[in-house]
């Protein structure tokens, strides 16, 4: 009987200057993690814009830095 599947989870959000740092844990080693953005939360997920791609570490962790998020001239944005 197989165990429960691993579920990748966001562990923290932090600001470093004008950058947003997103850290996650509990993913499957070597898998790819995509960070998506939209200006409208009602938009279907398939239409969100990918802004970062990262491979999970041997521990299943990831860290993505979204640069200049404080000064972005694009108005309201949502990152997932």
Give residues with Cβ within 8 angstroms of 43, minimum separation 6: none
β-pair type (32-38, 49-55): antiparallel
Q: What is the C-alpha to C-alpha distance for residues 59 and 64, in angstroms, rounded to an integer? A: 15
pLDDT in tens, 1-35: 456 667 888 899 998 888 889 898 988 888 888 88
Q: Tokens for 40? A: 């409208």
What was the pLDDT predicted at 80? 55
**In a 10 Å sphere around its CB, with 0-12 CB exposed, 13-18 middle and 19+ buried, how is residue 22 labelled?**
buried
Q: What is the C-alpha to C-alpha distance for residues 41 and 78, in angstroms, rounded to an integer? A: 7
pTM: 0.65
What was the pLDDT predicted at 46? 94
């Amino acid at each position: 009987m197989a165990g429960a599947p691993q579920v990748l989870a966001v562990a923290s959000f932090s600001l470093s200057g004008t950058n947003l740092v997103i850290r996650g844990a509990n993913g499957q080693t070597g898998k790819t993690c995509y960070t998506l953005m939209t200006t409208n939360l009602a938009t279907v997920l398939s239409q969100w814009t990918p802004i970062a791609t990262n491979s999970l570490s041997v521990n299943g962790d990831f860290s993505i830095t979204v640069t200049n998020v404080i000064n972005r001239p694009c108005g309201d944005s949502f990152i997932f």
